[in-house]
Structure 1
Amino acid sequence: MTETTQMRTSPSGGGDAPRSPEFRLAMDALQGLRQDLFHDAFAYRPLPLMTMDGPLTRRLPDRLRSYAARLPHAVVVGAALIALFGGSVASGALGGPAALLSGLACAVPVLATLVRPVGAFWMSMAATPVVAVLLGEFGEWPWLPGPFICHLTVLVIVAIRTRPRTAAWMWTLTGAYALLVETLFGDGEYNTSAPMLFLSALALLVVAVRHVRREAQQEVTAQQTVTAHERSRRTLLEERTTIARELHDVVAHHMSVVAIQAEAAPYRVEDPPPELERAFATIRENAVAALTELRRVLGVVRAEDYEAPDAPQPTLADLDALLANVRDAGLSVEKAVTGAVRELPPGVELSAYRIVQEALSNTLRHAPGATARVEVSYVLGGLGLRIVNGPIPELTLVKPSPGAGHGVTGMRERVSMLNGEMTAGPTDDGGYEVAVFLPVTAPTEGEA
């Protein structure tokens, strides 16, 4: 506490003396003023074309879009013509070089906002006394009609093109200029400072609200994009975890069989050599070690509320029971099997069953009342699946209840795990089709 007190009461002339919050706030404000209105004030910053992704511009024909993209430029040119009229005609000078120069002095700053927005602000400030000198009218200080239109237009355009802090600095300098001119040259009868400050404050407030709203929309859009990406990634990881849990039983069964056969093999041979016994013992040890690691992996991917299934993992032999369950839920589904039915690897059987199950669940959710068809094709190189449903009936009383949209993701993960192929999409009649091919390598004679 003592050291802190001494440091705060150190002489102000010291180089390491702490600054007060007010001093730092003032320095930050001056730094912002310098950065916004003085640093590269006349830098070349052309006005970009208008985007064509709005609700109205999106409906325009292609031929008109190129013209509609330049609508902001046309608006600025129109405002410059109004300022030209105000500077040359509305001020009372109906002709002559003075009126022309006055109109140009009011129009040029407005046009300059197209390429040098901050510089246009300083040009409009300079145009105010220039027009007064050219027209010889000092009664309506500090803004005559032409400079009034010019400066107000420039303030709004520059505020739209920059940020709210820049708009606040421009309004502050405008008020300081008005106060200075009225104090030095005003006659007290009539001045345009109050209308200018009121109208410009109102316009800049609207522009600032527009900026804040647009930034908020952009931030919300960015957050929604990140959230959707994270949700998709989390869904993918959840699907892979589910697949790993289901395949654990299949792999564990095979490793258990390997361990048992390796243990029993030496007893089937009379007087086996020691090398053979050691080889089978090594096989059994590796199988048991693999089972232990599988249990550890399952423990990592298992959720807190996960319960190991009591029944074995389903196969295509259980497909009829699945279809009967779906029919009880109100879905009319038929099954067709082609090719020579044979036993497939357990991973293929399980993945095929889950794909059919998920496809029929999607039909129940998205197309209630529709009919479905499941085709299972045993071909030479693997297994083909096709699950297709018709459109939603017009007279159905049940409304679709879309889920989270993760079903297709899970099916693709299962197909990708087996190096298969899958297509999913709407049909011509308004239904939906899922087509899958799961390759199965034919066992060689030695493996058989």
Structure 2
Amino acid sequence: MSSSSAQVRAHWPRPGTWPVWVVPILVAFIQVVGSLGAQRGEAAGGGSSGGPPWEHGDGGPAGIGHTDLDALGFALLLGGPALLLLRRRHPVFTVCATAAVTAVYFLRAYTYGPAPLALAVAMMAAIVAGHRLVTWAGTGIGLAAFFGLTALIGVPAAERGQDGPFPVQEPTLGGSSFVVGWALVVLVSGELIRMRAQRAAETARIRAEEKRRQASEERLRMARELHDVLAHNISMINVQAGVALHLIDQNPEQARTALAAIKDASKEALTEMRGVIGALRSQGETAPRAPTAGLDRLDDLLDRARNAGLAVEAEITGERRRLHAGTDLAAFRIVQESLTNVTRHAGPGPVTARVGIAYGEHEIVVRVEDDGRGAPLLDDRPGGSGLRGMRERAAALGGTFDAGPRPGGGFRVRAALPLTVESAVERSEDAGPDGGDAQ
């Protein structure tokens, strides 16, 4: 029972989302029916039971008169709710006009009842709309003016509603205190509603900003994935195409091998691109459920590099274990991008690349070295994304990254990545805002 009622409350629309005419109709019904009931109660009780709340049980007059509801009385009871139709576009005008209608109703000495309900709604609407100073100051000035006027023209409670166009009751201490207390309750309630609405708007803004941030991060991640996939495979295809063109007439069999390598590299590129683009097309899912590659495909990666004419040596030390998904993907991409850079920048002649994967207690160290011409950081230029992308991958996990020429020639890439999510968080916090980027 409680869970079902909670679900009903959760889906019940807020009054601010209702059509503008719903509240005025409810207020008009309550004011008319309630005032008729109060008048009937006064008549049945001999003029005493239907009096205002502050006149009961405190030694007040035995009887309080009233003016029977007539056409003007009903017009005033309906006029306030009608003015509430303007509360969203013209809140200040609505609260002033509704206050005037309510004041005339009580100056005419009609029966006490729920007649001030329209004024309470108008006051809350003005506060929620941001017109706080006008509402608070206007309420104080309006009450002072009303009490001052009734002090001048008011009559005793027993003579209320008997003679004159405005046979209003003269103010009493109990009555004035009750009206002031009622006004404060309305004003404070409006402030609470306003603060709640502001908190809800701020929460919605934060959620929207978080979604935009996540979408931006996801686009960057996808761009990095596409770069790594295309840069590696296209580089391999370019090298093998050059080999095939050079050998097509002199050594057709070796050219056939190069063309087969081109076919495999292009197939691999298409497969990984479909995985990345498929994640972008997923409905109701902001990110793929798992990375598209990992160290379990390291042998295939090394074979493709060897087919491209690169001599590759691999060494894996330590106890192999299951890695955090982000670490697994980052390690694979770092090896992939490093081999791509070797193919593109190591220079002519036989080049050997040495890939080392070392599993430690808390981290995995990825190392790729070559004995090429040892060019400087060609791919770390502004606008480039090779070494920069590897560095960002390592920093995002709280790891370290270092790349540069080797003593004696060649180039070296080294990355230390945390093995688990917990160690990634700890390393990121220890590294500080720079993300632990080692140069």
- TM bracket, shorter-chain basis: 0.3 to 0.5
- The TM-score with structure 1 as length reference comes to 0.33
- The TM-score with structure 2 as length reference comes to 0.34
